[in-house]
Amino acid sequence: MDLLTTHHLNDLLDDGVLELRALKEDRSVYCFYTLRINTNLLGKVWVSLQFWRIVFMGRKMDVFFSSTQDAIPFLMRTIRKRLHAKKRIGVNYQRS
């Protein structure tokens, strides 16, 4: 397990929100990514992902899990992908 990913996951679980950004002006990369984790009235864990770029309309995706433990692998993959985005977009995401 990646220590940086684990650190960001712990922050997300403690605060309920994690905001990341990838900025590289010379390549015109301005990306933003927000993860939120909540529990709904039925006790399901609700993970909300929002991502957008400066010139493109943003997108939102909601994913539901039966428990926080079930959500952790999904959150780890998502955070790891953003923290290691250099090959895809030329720069890694960082904490806002």
Residue spans of the domains in the chain: they are: 27-90
Tell me the CB-side half-sphere exposure of residue 7, using CA atoms within 13 A.
Answer: 6
pLDDT tier for residue 3 given thresholds of 50, 70 and 90: low
Q: Where are the alpha helices (DSSP H) in 1-96?
A: 3-15, 68-83, 86-89
CATH topology of domain 27-90: Nuclear Transport Factor 2; Chain: A, (3.10.450)
Give the pLDDT confidence of 4-27 residue by residue, as tens digits. Answer: 677 878 887 888 898 888 887 776
Which range among 21-25, 40-44, 70-74 shows the weakest confidence by mean pLDDT? Answer: 21-25
The percentage of residues in the chain with a pLDDT greater than 90, rounded to a whole number, is 27
Specify the pLDDT at position 63: 95
Q: What is the mean pLDDT of residues 25-44?
A: 85
> Cα separation of 2 and 53, whole Å?
26
